[in-house]
């Protein structure tokens, strides 16, 4: 089943809801600039293992409304909460990739735990605590790198998306990489279905939002996964810091895996996710 929920500020959010309604729900939160389609491999895997699986398109992304406002972590988390409340989901495992990891951290801290609806959390190649270089984050990305991404979105988004997917996102720019044109095309398709403004504004949201407090507030069991060849979100500034900030965290670093390892290495990642969910 797929349908829409209208948020408190009047935005239509698209979501998918597959599987038995009495099964434990797993909710997936996608990365920038993608959609819930990026989770197809995980949703089918968990569906076939007896779970209820839910995923939504972030506002301005995929099939959700291309609104001009609310492209920030607070609205992202509130939109996820609207889906959870609409479906009355409980005992939920929230899994977020990249920007979706930031969304999960904010959702769990501000909505999931206070409402008693969240059971566990998973952060995969996630952006928290802070991506951008700052006095309190000297190992972060220089603003010039992020401005370059913004310029690409503003001037030739179609080409920039092709280059990003064919290069650093999946590690296809590494010597000997097994390149999948289908994965590249699917990334591009998802991105181009979204709003250029949402993607442009979203860069600030995922890179300049300090989520240290969100991570410290997470009390549920949390799994943190990242590859040590992540060229988008360096793992030393992400997973390793997350592991120190989240009270009940398990951290696993995969040698040689890229930012988009959920697609390139699903044969390894999916069983690890399942073991944590069932554990």
Catalytic residue check, 207: no
CB distance 246 to 95 below 8 Å: no
* Torsion of Cα atoms, 134 then 140 then 142 then 148, to 10°: -130
Q: Select which of 17, 57, 214, 230 is catalytic.
A: 230
Q: Select which of 29, 56, 61, 259 is catalytic.
A: 259
Contacts of 202 (CB under 8 A, 6+ apart): 32, 33, 60, 71, 99
Rounded CA-CA distance 23/179 in Å is: 36
Burial 143-176 (b: 16+ CB within 10 A, else e): eeebeebbebbeeebeebbbbbbbebbbbbeeee
CA 261 to chain centre: 12
CB distance 124 to 96 below 8 Å: yes
Catalytic residue check, 259: yes
Q: Select which of 35, 36, 64, 98 is catalytic.
A: 98
Catalytic residue check, 180: no
Burial 226-242 (b: 16+ CB within 10 A, else e): bbebbbbbbbebbbebb
Active site residues: 98, 230, 259
């Amino acid at each position: 089943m797929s349908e829409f929920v209208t948020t408190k500020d009047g935005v239509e959010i698209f979501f998918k809801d597959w599987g038995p309604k009495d099964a434990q729900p797993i909710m997936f939160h996608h990365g920038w600039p993608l959609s819930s389609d990026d989770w197809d491999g995980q949703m089918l895997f968990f569906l076939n293992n007896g779970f209820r699986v839910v995923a939504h398109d972030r506002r301005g992304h995929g099939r959700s409304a291309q609104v001009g406002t609310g492209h920030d972590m607070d609205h992202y988390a509130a939109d996820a909460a609207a889906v959870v409340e609409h479906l009355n989901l409980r005992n939920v495992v929230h899994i977020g990739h990249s920007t979706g990891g930031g969304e999960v951290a904010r959702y769990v801290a501000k909505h999931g735990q206070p409402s008693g609806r969240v059971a566990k959390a998973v952060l995969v190649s996630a952006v928290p605590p802070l991506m951008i270089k700052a006095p309190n984050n000297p190992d972060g990305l220089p603003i010039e790198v992020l401005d370059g991404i913004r310029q690409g979105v503003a001037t030739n988004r179609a080409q920039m998306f092709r280059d990003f997917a064919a290069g650093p996102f999946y590690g296809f720019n590494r010597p000997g990489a097994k390149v999948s044109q289908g994965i590249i095309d699917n990334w591009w398709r998802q991105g181009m279905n979204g709003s250029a403004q949402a993607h442009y504004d979203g860069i600030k949201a995922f890179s300049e939002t300090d989520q240290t407090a969100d991570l410290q507030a997470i009390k549920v069991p949390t799994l943190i996964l990242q590859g040590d060849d992540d060229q988008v979100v360096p793992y030393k500034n992400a997973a390793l810091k997350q592991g120190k900030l989240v009270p009940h965290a398990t951290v696993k670093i995969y040698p040689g895996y890229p930012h988009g390892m959920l697609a390139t290495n699903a044969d390894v990642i999916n069983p690890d996710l399942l073991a944590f969910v069932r554990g």
